[in-house]
Amino acid sequence: SARVSSGPWLSLSFRLRSYNNSMDGEEDKRTQSAKGQDKDLGKVTDFAEEKTLDASKVQKAVSALASTGKSAKAAQAARDKELAAVAIKKEDVTFITAELEIENEVAERRLRENKGDLVATLRSLVAC
């Protein structure tokens, strides 16, 4: 009778079977882990309370925010008007922009905030 040599194929077959068994175990672990996570997520979402919003309260809150925004804009406009009334020298603006390398608008605003006082403006700009 002829003897069949198992050779390396038997070894390869055994390794593949072993690998497949280990992969099945890992899939089971992953599946169990996913189920556990779903369960945990369910616990978290079970505690969330649904609240209904009162339309009148929402409307009041929106109106309050709108009026606050309007009053802030009005205050800013009044401040801008007040600052526009302050006389400043163009030479001072040019000096500040050249020496400190800032934009014209920033130099003008700071000069106006400091009532046209160049030294006070320079101090405020350097202190920033």
Mean pLDDT on 17-38: 63
Phi, psi of 113, rounded to the nearest 5 degrees? -65, -30
96, 102 Cβ separation under 8 angstroms: yes
- Assess whether pLDDT exceeds 60 at residue 97: yes
Q: Return the pLDDT at 69.
A: 82
Count the residues in the chain: 128
User: What is the tens place of the pLDDT at every residue in 73-86?
Assistant: 888 889 889 988 99
Q: Return the pLDDT at 24.
A: 57
- Is the CA virtual torsion 29, 30, 31, 34 positive or negative? positive
Q: Return the pLDDT at 105.
A: 93
Helix or strand run (H / E) with residue 126: helix 118-127
Helix, strand or coil, per DSSP, at residue 114: coil
Q: Return the pLDDT at 1.
A: 45
**pTM summary value:** 0.47
User: What is the tens place of the pLDDT at every residue in 38-76?
Assistant: 666 665 555 545 566 678 888 888 888 888 888 888 888
User: What is the rounded distance in angstroms from the CA atom of residue 38 to the CA atom of residue 2?
Assistant: 58
Q: Quote the tokens at residue 115.
A: 């009532």
